[in-house]
Structure 1
Amino acid sequence: MKQNKYDDPGFFANYSQMPRSTGGLNAAGEWQVFKALLPDLKDKNVLDLGCGFGWHCRYASEQQAKSVIGVDLSENMLKRARESSAEPAIEYLQLAIEDIDFAPGQFDVVISSLAFHYVENFNIVCKKVNHALQPGGSFVLSVEHPVFTALAAQDWYCDQDGNRLHWPVDGYQNEGQRIARFLDHDVIKYHRTLASYINSIIDAGFRITSISEPQPSKEILEAYPEMKDETRRPIFLLMAAEKINS
């Protein structure tokens, strides 16, 4: 079953108030690192899986991509994306990530930001991405870090005064579904080990070119001081890969 929390009015209202929802890419602590992993997008055909409000799609268009397709399951997300820009190079499709079925070699670049931890069958998606990419094409993605997803609680261990003592990691090797509390709602996520992420990408026919576990930049911490504890453990995992020529 494909989860569509973003069309729940209460969840969507809460999500819309998040800094990255109102401030865009510059309010996303991992954006500068993610951007550095991207290839030159000029004249490229780009696919964004889990495009949300379309921030990455619009960035690709600004970089003179030849065409951009954004895929998302949420009608609310796509409505906001379309309202934010009417750039002719961008097409938005309401579709579950797992259900993509594009032509062989249709894209030069496939990106995905913080979406795959909502997808149960990551290995199948990797194979579909490989199928849709040109030989040598780029696959750049970010997910919640396995250290972050191992425990469903996804919260700090605090003392009696509420001071954050440490981030607990348990059940790391037990992959599968987690019911996490996010934005005051129960949300289904899928925990995978770092090895599973890496091997799924390799087994699908990619060569991994970079892995990053970024922390918020100095500028982000100055703008959002509440993010200071994000330097104490990784929250995001970013990877770049290229399709092996065949």
Structure 2
Amino acid sequence: MKQNKYDDPDFFDNYSQMPRSTGGLNAAGEWQVFKALLPELKDKKILDLGCGFGWHCRYAREQHAQSVIGVDLSENMLKRAKESSDDAAIEYLQLAIEDIDFAAEQFDVVISSLAFHYVEDFAAVCKKVNHALKPGGSFVFSAEHPVFTSLASQDWYYDENGNRLHWPVDGYQNEGQRVARFLDNDVIKYHRTLETHINTIIDAGFRITKISEPQPSKEVLEEYPEMKDETRRPIFLLIAAVKN
């Protein structure tokens, strides 16, 4: 299933108003942890899967990456990314993540931010990433945490006064498609357990070096106090690995 909700005008307009869409990487609660997982990017060839507005592509070039390819299925996303910089060393490709077909050992680093939970065949993507990476190359990605994706409702349990009591987790072992509500739209996501994430990466030929379940930093919470409940359960899973 290759969704392209971001080319729906209303959906894209709503997404464009989110804090991480207007404020960039520093408005993303997990960014500081994601950044710490990245290897040295200077003089490296980078691939960004699900690049969106191109924030990570531009960051890589700020770190003096040799070249960056950003892949995204959305024409709207790529149009905004191209409008945000004029850098000949960044190439944007309109392509589904599942359809990537790069040369063997073409890249030094492959990254992806909050895209893989939209991908049905995670194992196939991991194998393609391994193929495209040089030996010892780095694979760093974030995805919605299995605690977050297990129930399609992706919402808190409230009391009669609307107070958030707890985050319900059910159907955790039942992997597969979930139809969640995001920005007032039905969006198809794919739930997989932590075990499946880890073993899929290992089976694709990687050695995992770090796992993180970050919460917003103090600085982010001060600027965006509405994110205070994000400290009560993990929303993101971050994994760093290297090609064997």
Scaled by the length of structure 2, what TM-score is found? 1.00
Aligned to 2:76: 76
1:174-212 per-position Cα deviation (integer Å, ceiling 9, x unaligned): 000000000010000000000000011000000000000
Counterpart of 1:115 in structure 2 is 115
Aligned to 2:221: 221
Query: Which residue in 2 is equivalent to 1:235?
Result: 235
User: In 1, Cα distance between the equivalents of 2:10 and 2:146?
Assistant: 27
Q: Indicate yes or no: 2:32 matched with 1:32.
A: yes
> SS of 2:134's equivalent?
strand
CA–CA distance in structure 2, aligned partners of residues 9 and 180 of structure 1: 19
List 4+ stretches of structure 1 deviating above 2 A: none
- 1:129-173 Cα shifts (integer Å, max 9, x gaps): 000000000000000000000000000000000000000000000
**Cα distance between partner residues in 2 of 1:148 and 1:40:** 31
User: What is residue 85 of structure 1 aligned with on the other side?
Assistant: 85
Structure 2 Cα separation of the partners of residues 86 and 92 of structure 1: 12
Which secondary structure does the structure 2 equivalent of 1:140 belong to? strand
For residues 93-172 of structure 1, what are the structure 2 equivalents within 5 Å?
Answer: 93-172=93-172
Q: Classify the secondary structure of the residue corresponding to 2:215.
A: coil
SS class of match (2:2) = coil
Residue 47 of structure 2: aligned partner: 47
Give the C-alpha shift of residue 65 in structure 1.
Answer: 0.3
Q: Which SS does the other structure have where 2:23 is aligned?
A: helix
Q: Partners of 2:59 and 2:88 in 1: how far apart?
A: 14
Q: How many positions carry a matched residue from both structures?
A: 244
Runs of 5+ consecutive residues of structure 1 not aligned to the other structure: none
Q: Deviations over 1:93-151 (max 9, x none)?
A: 00000000000000000000000000000000000000000000000000000000000
What SS does the corresponding residue of 1:201 show, helix, strand or coil? helix
Partners in 2 of 1:10 and 1:199 — Cα distance? 38
Is 1:5 the counterpart of 2:13 in the alignment? no
Letter of the aligned partner of 1:209 in structure 2? T
Per the TM alignment, residue 51 of structure 1 is displaced from its structure 2 partner at its CA by: 0.0
* TM-score between the two structures when normalised by the length of structure 1: 0.99
Secondary structure at the residue paired with 1:208? Answer: strand
Give the gaps of 5 or more residues in structure 2: none
What residue is the counterpart of 1:199 in the other structure?
A: 199
Q: Distance in 2 between matches of 1:192 and 1:10?
A: 29
What SS class does the counterpart of residue 139 from structure 1 fall into?
strand
Q: How much has 1:88 moved relative to structure 2? A: 1.2
**Same amino acid, percent of matched pairs:** 85
Letter in 1 for 2:234: P
Between the aligned partners of 1:183 and 1:172, the Cα distance in structure 2 is 24
2:185 maps to which residue?
A: 185
How large is the Cα RMSD of the aligned pairs? 0.3
Q: Distance in 2 between matches of 1:86 and 1:14?
A: 26
Cα distance in 1 for partners of 2:153, 2:86 equals 39
